[in-house]
Amino acid sequence: MSESPVSVTDQAAIRRITVNRPDKLNALNAATLDALLVAFEAAAADPAVRVIVLTGAGPKAFVAGADIAEMADLSATDGRDFSLRGQKLMRRIETMPKPVIAMINGFALGGGLELAMACHLRIAADSAKVGQPEINLGLVPGFGGSQRLLRLTGRAAALELCLLGAPITAERAYQLGIVNRVVALAELDAETGKWAEQLAQAAPLALRGNLDVIHVGGECGIEEGLQYESAQFGLMFATDDMREGTRAFLERRKPQFNGR
């Protein structure tokens, strides 16, 4: 039996999902897209999982892109289907009810950057390179890269990355707002772990509420977004976690959240 293109490990409430094709620089073929979707659906459904960390196996790449060998002979219809397959995964990650951290340990190009941008937080090694090089293959981004770049960076930077097709450094990606933090490669795992531990100890329903209000607000007008925020704010007052959080604050102790 061939090795799975995706591996999953747990450490307490933190689940690590790893794209496991280091010999192919973790390129995304159809089987890998499907395996990632299964892994994220399982993480969403597992009440023991509070945070997901997504990364790539090996020393070189987070995900170096879509698998060009698999794409080369696709028809126009097949190409559209492959794009929709990738977009389904990215949308699932983006709408996860639990925070997802992309730990960018190396190249995140094309589909790899699209995968990282679908995550809620991104922390990159200072040696990492990111980009949307599809134009060099006679293509446009297919897994949502044009749309998420536009929303993360604005029109000018999105056009720069998509039209020029050249990779940029992690530091430049930080300046553009593509990644949240850049650290030395030797510190990447530990720093990502700190974020994951902090999130794992936070109130799960409030985490989900924050993910929801920011996601909805990014896709609607401000009046609708404000109304949704007020509704979610009110719902939090019906939770045990809100009562525990406020009591702990007043009693000057650390809260113990149970997700209810």
Give dist(CA 113, CA 134) in Å, integer: 11
Question: What CA–CA distance (Å, rounded) separates 20 from 169?
Answer: 24
Residues paired with 108 in a beta bridge: 63, 130
* Vertex 20 angle, CA 19 and 22, to 5°: 110
Which of 114, 223, 224, 229 is labelled catalytic?
114
Give the Cβ contact number of residue 56 at 10 Å.
28
Q: How far is CA 197 from CA 122, 209, 215, 241, in A?
A: 15, 19, 23, 18
Distance CA 10, CA 107 (A): 25
Give the torsion through C-alpha atoms of 71, 73, 75, 79, to 10 deg: 0
Is 70 a catalytic site residue?
Answer: no
Backbone angles phi, psi at 115, to 5 degrees: -65, -45
Write the DSSP string, 71-115. Answer: HTT--HHHHHHHHHHHHHHHHHHHT-SS-EEEEE-SEEETHHHHH
Q: Is 134 a catalytic residue?
A: yes
Of the candidates 70, 134, 244, 251, the residue annotated as catalytic is 134
Percent helix / strand / coil, the chain, rounded to 5: 50, 15, 30
Report, as residue numbers or ranges, the catalytic residues. 114, 134
